[in-house]
């Protein structure tokens, strides 16, 4: 069993991105016998998706989890859906700022995660990690990569999806004003490790399917 875990380089003036720190920590960790490959993606429209698609061809993973930072989110944020829109509020790391352009011209409006998102949320919650289902991955580079991932793997027997992580305490504090939510790196690592173990178990169970528990939102 092969797992590809991606994280992003820092962006938007930050000097670190927990998504890459977490992926780096987990590279080489034994996950119920699964082999884990960690990959850093540039926070750049286009190039990020190209690098990811290259890695998919090279590693032929059974499970792909892409990680990104979402400042302001509380806990582990398991994304439900990727949409076919790039609409950047800030420039990416190459200075590009697309507005309302498709990730894949002519592609479907959206793809769902093929991770068992409710099963993962339930498992993390039971283990005491802060976690929720998110109904939008935004319209910046994370959603772009998530959409490209799901588009590339459509119809294939690979479990793939996206998980946003909260800020690290030091990042949150930097903002001054009312301190946004944060989570210590060690806790993020432990939660993502558990999430990957749940993915492996679910995959071994021949894609056990998802559980029927609420993860909805009103706004």
Binding site for ligand PCA (CB under 6 A): 8, 11, 17, 19, 43, 68-70, 138, 140-142
148-185 burial: b if 16+ Cβ within 10 Å, else e: bbbbbbeeeebbbbbbbbbbbeebbeeeeeeebebbeb
Tell me whether residue 3 or residue 142 sits nearer to ligand PCA (CB atom): 142
Shortest CA distance to 64 belongs to which of 188, 151, 139? 151
Active-site residue identified among 43, 79, 129, 203: 79
Q: How many CB atoms lie within 10 A of CB 23?
A: 26
Tell me whether residue 119 or residue 144 sits nearer to ligand PCA (CB atom): 144
142 catalytic, yes or no? yes
Active-site residue identified among 129, 164, 199, 203: 164
Distance CA 90, CA 198 (A): 35
Instruction: State the residue number with the nearest CB to ligand PCA.
Output: 142
Active-site residue identified among 25, 43, 129, 142: 142
Tell me whether residue 34 or residue 65 sits nearer to ligand PCA (CB atom): 65
For residue 124, give both structure tokens: 């993390």
79 catalytic, yes or no? yes
- Active site positions, annotated: 79, 142, 164
């Amino acid at each position: 069993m092969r797992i590809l875990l991606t994280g992003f380089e820092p962006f938007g003036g930050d000097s670190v991105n927990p998504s890459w720190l977490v992926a780096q920590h987990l590279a080489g960790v034994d996950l119920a016998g699964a082999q884990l490959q960690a990959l850093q993606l540039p926070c750049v429209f286009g190039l990020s998706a190209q690098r990811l698609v290259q890695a998919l061809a090279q590693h032929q993973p059974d499970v792909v989890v892409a990680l990104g930072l979402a400042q302001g989110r509380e806990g582990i944020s398991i994304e439900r859906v990727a949409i076919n829109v790039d609409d950047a509020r800030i420039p990416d790391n190459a200075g590009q700022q697309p507005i309302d352009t498709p990730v894949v011209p002519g592609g479907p409006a959206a793809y769902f995660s093929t991770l068992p998102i409710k099963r993962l949320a339930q498992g993390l919650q039971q283990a005491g990690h802060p976690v929720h289902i998110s109904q939008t991955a935004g319209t910046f580079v994370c959603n772009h990569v998530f959409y490209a991932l799901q588009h590339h793997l459509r119809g294939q027997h690979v479990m793939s999806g996206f998980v946003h992580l909260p800020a690290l305490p030091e990042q949150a504090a930097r903002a001054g004003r009312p301190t946004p939510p944060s989570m210590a790196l060690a806790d993020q690592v432990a939660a993502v490790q558990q999430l990957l173990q749940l993915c492996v178990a679910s995959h071994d169970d021949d894609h056990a399917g998802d559980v029927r528990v609420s993860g909805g939102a009103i706004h």
